[in-house]
Chains A and B, each alone.
Chain A
Amino acid sequence: MGSAKGTALLSAERLSFAFPQGAPVLREVSLHLKGGASVGLLGANGAGKTTLLGAITGTVRGTTGGSVRLDVGGLHARRAIGFATQAIALYPVLTVEENVGHLARLLLGRGEAKAAIARTLEEFALGPIARTRVHHLSGGQRRLVHLAASFVHAPPIRLLDEPTVALDFEARQLVVRRVRAWREEGAAVLVTAHYPEDIEELSTELVLLRDGKTRDLGELGTVLSNQTRTLSLRGARPDASWELTLATSSLEEVRSKLGEVPSDVHLSELRLSGNRLRDILLRDPSLSAFARESEGP
């Protein structure tokens, strides 16, 4: 499927929200979800990430302000948006196929549902458990079924709230591949996750939510390129460890930086004096350190 990427399919402008009799959670938040891009929403616990998704989709009750505009060729919101909530939303006594099928028939009609169910079960590798009742599945399997059901109607806008919770490595990689495929198909994706590593794998752009306001951080690559690499030397003794900041991690720079380590524990001496150096680690820029700095007090 080709796509005309880059245009905002969903634009939230000056969006405000407060729960009934509650303090404002969102204060004039603006957010743009472009086709072919995936926005990672960073924010500490309680920052309002889930509420923002609820306010965008109109699924939470409270006082709202601002606007949410869709540019999806006249598609109704129910067809244009798929929302995988943080809580797994499935009927436990129904099978995987019945859960996915319920939403497929509801959103697409019987005529289109059959093909959509088959495609979705294949995409999420759910074929072998299609006829298993959900209450017999593991937490990770339920999460995959939940994601499959949420997007069975192939919506152009896909919102994922903590999609990697309870997933093992293989299932997590499957979700990463799906999100990348959706981007390539031209879908606009918004994702929140507990761990920056997940955001890093699932997103192309970053938005920080803090104190009820968003800050557009730009493209993930740009954010990461502004971060520094670190060279970590860990000795056997707790007092014999050093963390050196590198700008480029070229060999010359590494050599130069090693000169900062006191000469009595120089790398060559450590090697010669018998396993006193436990490990040397070169860490690439990551979102974890950035998130720690950004979400801090």
Chain B
Amino acid sequence: MNQDIASSAPSAPSGVAGFVNEVRCYALTEWRVLARERTAMVFIFILPAVLSAILGPGVSGLDAAPGAMGRATIGFAVMFSYMVVTYSGHAFYRDFWYHTHGRQALIRPSRLAFAMGKVLPACAMSFVQLLLFTGFAAAFLGLPLNGNVLQVALTGAALVTSGSALGFLLFAITRSTATLSNLSYLVLVTFSAVGGAIVATEALPGWSRTLGYATPHYWALRALNEATFGPGRWSVVLQSTAVILTFTVVCATAASLAFDFRDAKHDTT
């Protein structure tokens, strides 16, 4: 063999350092793309703010309740934080839009590192949005905070992680961006509706409430309500986040099984 050229080629990091390097590389590139394309900023930050301002507590049927505006704001924040499903899915589809998927198939990074790096920026944006909106509601809209910020942060992290895992799953099982987008908007609206993010759970019909138990939104709002209006019990917050994380693990496992770096996607516009 040609020792010179092979031995002169520097080695890539391996082990934990290699894993961290892969996550960082994909995350940095995704962050740059998201920041420059800007549509994610509009959907994740601006849309919930506008809807909260226009619709306020009226749509949730809570307008007479104390802190209702703050509660409605959190609802919209939870709802639009699930745009992370769309943007996580797009992060994977991006390689097909720009023909870079062949490179991933050749490089074969760790699946976990690849998936984490791809979804991390969208996750971080949604997480920051939840914290910002909750903070704003607590500071200016009369939302009480009987629990603590850590409970809000834990719930937010669990929720956006579940959305990313669902985005990964939708990417793995769909063939086109259009299908992924349609499904993710369907998820956004139905999960928010039955999970109590738009109209408070107590105002929903019984069957809707029953369906709501299957959504991460219900459990996220349960934990957030506990941290804000409720007495801030950790048991309720941890139980809720555990349910959300179970949903995450199921989605991520299914996605990982369905995903293949060599997959071809059609109609990638």
A interface residue numbers (CB < 8 A to B):
1-5, 7, 9, 35-36, 54, 57-61, 71-73, 75-81, 83, 85, 87-94, 98, 102-103, 105-110, 112, 116, 150, 153-156, 185-188
B182 at the interface (CB under 8 A from A): no
A112 CA / B17 CA spacing, docked (Å)? 14
Interface of A is mostly: loop
Verify B12–A76 contact, CB threshold 8 A: yes
Verify B7–A61 contact, CB threshold 8 A: no
Verify B103–A88 contact, CB threshold 8 A: no
A88 CA / B17 CA spacing, docked (Å)? 30
Verify B106–A59 contact, CB threshold 8 A: yes
> A91-B33, A93-B33, A110-B21 in contact; A58/B2 too (CB < 8 A)?
no
B interface residue numbers (CB < 8 A to A):
1-13, 17-18, 21-22, 24-26, 28-29, 32-33, 36-37, 94, 98-100, 102-103, 105-109, 260-264
Residues of B with C-beta under 8 A to A78: 12, 106-108
Q: List 19 A-B contacts (CB under 8 A).
A: A4-B2, A4-B3, A57-B105, A59-B105, A78-B107, A85-B102, A89-B100, A90-B100, A105-B24, A105-B25, A106-B12, A108-B10, A109-B10, A110-B21, A153-B9, A153-B10, A154-B8, A185-B4, A185-B5
Verify B11–A79 contact, CB threshold 8 A: yes
Return B267 CB to nearest CB of chain A, in Å: 16
Verify B6–A72 contact, CB threshold 8 A: yes
Verify B25–A89 contact, CB threshold 8 A: no
A75 CA / B6 CA spacing, docked (Å)? 7
A78 CA / B25 CA spacing, docked (Å)? 16
Return A45 CB to nearest CB of chain B, in Å: 19
> A4-B1, A93-B32 in contact; A103/B10 too (CB < 8 A)?
no
Residue ID in chain B nearest A155 by CB atoms? B9
The residue that A93 contacts in the complex, of B2, B9, B13, B37, with Cβ under 8 A, is B37
Verify A79–B9 contact, CB threshold 8 A: yes
Return A157 CB to nearest CB of chain B, in Å: 9
A61 CA / B21 CA spacing, docked (Å)? 27
**9 further interface pairs, Cβ-Cβ under 8 Å (given A61-B262, A73-B7, A79-B9):** A4-B2, A35-B2, A60-B262, A71-B1, A80-B6, A93-B33, A107-B12, A186-B5, A187-B2
A94 CA / B26 CA spacing, docked (Å)? 13
The residue that B29 contacts in the complex, of A98, A153, A156, with Cβ under 8 A, is A98
